[in-house]
Every structure is written in C-alpha cells, then in structure tokens.
Chain A
C-alpha cells in the first residue's frame, strides 16, 4: 500500500475492469476491436455505477508462482473429486469428519479469501468460518478420523496458502510466510 500508484477515477480498478471486459468479449465470442472497446466502455460504466471496495491487490502476479498454483490446483481438484466420489459410492459406513481450525500467516483479506476459496474446492474440506481478525479459518474435513489426519490437513492448508501468496502476494505478504503458524 505504501507505493503511490497512479489512480484511475474513483472505483475504477484495473483488474475488475479487465475481467468484465474479458467476460463481455467471451460472451460475444470474437476478439474484434469493436467488441473490446464496447466491453471496456460498458465495464467502466458498471464499475462507476456499482463501485467495488478496494481489496488491496498489490498487482504483483508472479507467472511462475501462478503456474505452480494452477498446476497443483488442477491435480488436487481431480484427486479430491475422485476421493469424495469414491467415499460416496463405496459400501459401508462413511468416514468420521472433523472441524479443524487453522491459523493462517497472511494478513491480507484478499489472500485469506483466495486460500479459503481454493480450499473449498481442493482437499476434502469446506471452509465454514473465516475470522479475519485472528487469521483463523475453520474447515469441515470430510475424512479425518484421527489426530494424524487433522495434522496432515493443517499442513496441506499452509502449503496451499504459501502457493497462493507466491502467486499473487506482495513482497511483505511473502515475508509473513516465514513466521511460525499452525494450530489456532
């Protein structure tokens, strides 16, 4: 936040502007100049009429970090889908679940939200509560019948958080990864 950035008119942030324009162009299906210009204009109008709060995105996307995150994400999505699907169809009783608290290291709300979003899709877990002040998230883990699997889940969450931070975090967010964390 400390670096002064050139600001567009109030409420106009670059990332949502580009995202809405992309949506518009994809809906039309062709990347013509007219489409892009119309999309930009319409997105600007939408963003001016319905301003978004500033989530403090540093705008430092690391291509390598992003690639590592996406790669892991796709692999984990397939793995966890197959696991949950197998749990659903296999005969016998369902595994015992747990509600696990994990204390994250990042302080940025955006990074915590992204971690929580990804977490709901990847390992067998659903985030049910996120306390931004204490940086703690609570997740329901589908298959966690003992303490070892709860600890393994905590490690998984922290790894995922590290990948999110390496992909889109600011340098100060990365520094926070070094501090000790784990159980809440």
Chain B
C-alpha cells in the first residue's frame, strides 16, 4: 500500500467517525429533555464531529493552498462554540427552560437569580 492509499484510508476513517458523532449529536438534540441538555449535544460531539470532518477533508486536499483555510475553520469552531453555548445556556436558564425535576442539585437557584 502506497502512502497515498494509506492517507485516503485515514481520511475515510476521519470522515466516518465525524459523521457518526454528528449523527449521535443530532439524536441527542432530539432526545434530551431540556434546552440545556440539548446544548450539550450541540457542543461537544458536534464540535469534534466538525473537526474530524475538516481533518478528513484536509487529508484529502493535502496538495491545495486552501488547506490552511480548513485549519482556520476548525479554530473558529473551537473558539466560537463555547461562547454561543454559554449564551444560550444562560438565556435558557434565566428564562426557566430547565426541567427542575431532572436536576439533582441546583446551586444557582437563589433569591438573586429571579430578577
């Protein structure tokens, strides 16, 4: 097996695992009980899924100058995903989109968060 073949196999493995994580993440978005839990599915498996797909594409496009743009897209994803997750989580908590019956403890629930 030549190096090119080996790299293509690597790309295939990366794309497959990325797609698998994306699928699992979407199942999570559908099945989890409240906005906060759904946000979990939409951050961790999703970000890694995108990174794996981008890596797979990068391995296949290894001779192109656009390779660096893929790296950049991955970096943007890593930086922006937590920020939007935090904002949505915060708004979700404050607008009471939490299933309190599904919480073990809630250490934020105090008189000062009701404003």
Say if the beta carbon of A48 comes within 8 Å of chain B: no
Residue of B nearest to A144 (CB): B104
Contact between A26 and B82, CB atoms less than 8 A apart? no
Q: In the complex, identify which listed stretch (A39-47, A56-64, A83-91) lies at the interface while the others stay far away.
A: A83-91
Say if the beta carbon of B1 comes within 8 Å of chain A: no
Q: Which of B41, B43, B89, B104 contacts A121 (CB 8 A)?
A: B43
Q: Which of B37, B71, B92, B98 contacts A94 (CB 8 A)?
A: B37
Please count how many residues in chain A sit with their CB below 8 Å of the partner chain's CB atoms: 46
Contact between A121 and B47, CB atoms less than 8 A apart? yes
Contact between B25 and A126, CB atoms less than 8 A apart? no
Contact between A120 and B82, CB atoms less than 8 A apart? yes
- The distance in angstroms between the C-alpha atoms of A124 and B36, with both chains bound, is 11
B48 contact set on A, CB distance < 8 A? 77-78, 81
Q: In the complex, identify which listed stretch (A1-9, A10-18, A96-104, A168-176) lies at the interface while the others stay far away.
A: A96-104
A89 contact set on B, CB distance < 8 A? 24, 27-28
Contact between A77 and B41, CB atoms less than 8 A apart? no
Say if the beta carbon of A108 comes within 8 Å of chain B: no
- The distance in angstroms between the C-alpha atoms of A28 and B93, with both chains bound, is 41
CB under 8 Å from chain A, chain B span 1-52: 20-21, 24-25, 27-28, 31-33, 36-37, 39-41, 43-45, 47-49
Please count how many residues in chain B sit with their CB below 8 Å of the partner chain's CB atoms: 49
Contact between A98 and B39, CB atoms less than 8 A apart? no
Contact between A85 and B107, CB atoms less than 8 A apart? no
Q: A120-B43, A121-B43 are in contact. Are A26 and B71 (CB under 8 A)?
A: yes
- The distance in angstroms between the C-alpha atoms of A121 and B47, with both chains bound, is 8
Q: A26-B69, A117-B82 are in contact. Are A77 and B108 (CB under 8 A)?
A: no
Residue of A nearest to B109 (CB): A99
Q: Which of A81, A96, A129 contacts B44 (CB 8 A)?
A: A81
Contact between B85 and A138, CB atoms less than 8 A apart? no
- The distance in angstroms between the C-alpha atoms of A98 and B104, with both chains bound, is 5
Across the A-B interface, the 3 shortest Cβ-Cβ residue pairs? A88-B28, A29-B65, A85-B24
Q: A128-B86, A129-B113 are in contact. List 17 more A-B contacts (CB 8 A).
A: A27-B69, A81-B44, A88-B28, A88-B45, A94-B33, A94-B37, A94-B102, A98-B103, A98-B107, A99-B106, A120-B82, A122-B44, A126-B85, A126-B89, A128-B92, A140-B37, A142-B40
